[in-house]
Amino acid sequence: MTKKKTYWLLLPVISLLSLASAQAQTPIRDRAVIAQQERMVFKQWNQNRFHPLPYRILGIPTNPNWYLTWALHPNYPNLDRRPLSPAGEQTQRLGLAAAMKISSDYYKQQADTVKNLAVREMTRISGALSGTDPLYLLYYKNELAPLENIEAHAFQYSTAQVRDYMQENGAYDWYLEHMKSLEERYGFAKTQDMERGQRILMYHRILLDLRRLQSNWEHKLALSQKMLAFRESMERRQQRIGQLSEQANQQEEMLSGILQRRIIMQ
């Protein structure tokens, strides 16, 4: 009997707990909340879906729930409060973001233009890139090649005798001094930052001075060659004269000996 009484006492409690747990999972569907969510997120601002409806009679709302919900702000259905409406906050933010992007793209384009102009200007006047100039590569580099190796071009077509003679009389030192001066100007023209036209003019002035110096140097080499040839011919002539004088002396001695012997015999 005690067990049966306990069972019948616990049965209502267990039933109530099971019903409470089942009702706790029951979904609630409020048309007013759903309509507000649809309006604010993805659907149009429909004034006919503002629940609860007023149910007007002769223009007077008769629904007490409407008074509880919309009486304090009756103008709300006439205002489009969607974030993505034409005048919504999100639309304004997106429009402002698009305008800022257009502005930033414009400033970026201007910055890139200034950068490209600066790079082209630096490339045009930079001494580090002067060796890539087309006119320099096609003409001036070959014409000014003697300044790259002065000693190798000094006696390129001359004999060893001429080289020794020019080094002995100081002409070679004069040539080196002037060539070193042109070499220094040439290096300055290649390494310093300046306008391309100014650089080309410097190349041309150095080339004119180099041609005058080489012309003078070739004239000196030619004179030296003639001088050495004349000296050699004079030495040969003197050697011949010496040989002839020796032969004449020998003949005179022979004649004088013959005469003396004749005198003695007489």
Q: What is the pLDDT of residue 18?
A: 62
Would 106 be classed as within a structural domain? yes
Work out how many domains the chain is built from and give that number: 3
Q: Quick check: 207 pLDDT over 90?
A: yes
Would 207 be classed as within a structural domain? yes
Let me know whether 224 and 112 are in one domain: no
pLDDT confidence bin for 201, thresholds 50/70/90: very high
Tell me 92's DSSP state.
H
Once rounded to an integer, what is the mean pLDDT over residues 137-165?
A: 86
Sequential DSSP letters for 240-264: HHHHHHHHHHHHHHHHHHHHHHHHH
Q: What is the pLDDT of residue 51?
A: 77
Would 253 be classed as within a structural domain? yes
Would 43 be classed as within a structural domain? yes
Which pLDDT tens digit goes with each residue over 244-259? 666 656 665 665 555 4
Let me know whether 186 and 260 are in one domain: yes
Q: How many angstroms from the chain centroid is the CA of residue 18?
A: 79
Let me know whether 95 and 157 are in one domain: no
pLDDT confidence bin for 263, thresholds 50/70/90: very low
Let me know whether 48 and 111 are in one domain: no
Let me know whether 93 and 138 are in one domain: no
- SS3 (DSSP) at 61: strand
Let me know whether 168 and 112 are in one domain: no
Which pLDDT tens digit goes with each residue over 4-33? 556 565 666 666 666 555 555 567 777 777
Let me know whether 106 and 71 are in one domain: no
What are the b/e assignments for 106-141, b being 16+ CB within 10 Å?
Answer: eeeeeeeeeeeeeeeeeeebeeeebeebeebeeebe
Which pLDDT tens digit goes with each residue over 64-101? 887 877 777 777 777 777 777 777 788 888 889 999 99
Domain containing residue 222: 130-265
Let me know whether 207 and 235 are in one domain: yes
Let me know whether 199 and 104 are in one domain: no
Would 236 be classed as within a structural domain? yes
H or E element that contains 117: helix 89-125
Burial (0-12, 13-18, 19+ Cβ within 10 Å), 32: middle
Would 20 be classed as within a structural domain? no
Q: What is the pLDDT of residue 184?
A: 92
Once rounded to an integer, what is the mean pLDDT over residues 207-216?
A: 93
Residue closest to 224 by CA, chosen among 149, 126, 155, 141 = 155
Would 11 be classed as within a structural domain? no
Let me know whether 51 and 64 are in one domain: yes
Tell me 26's DSSP state.
-
Let me know whether 134 and 237 are in one domain: yes
Let me know whether 230 and 162 are in one domain: yes
pLDDT confidence bin for 50, thresholds 50/70/90: confident
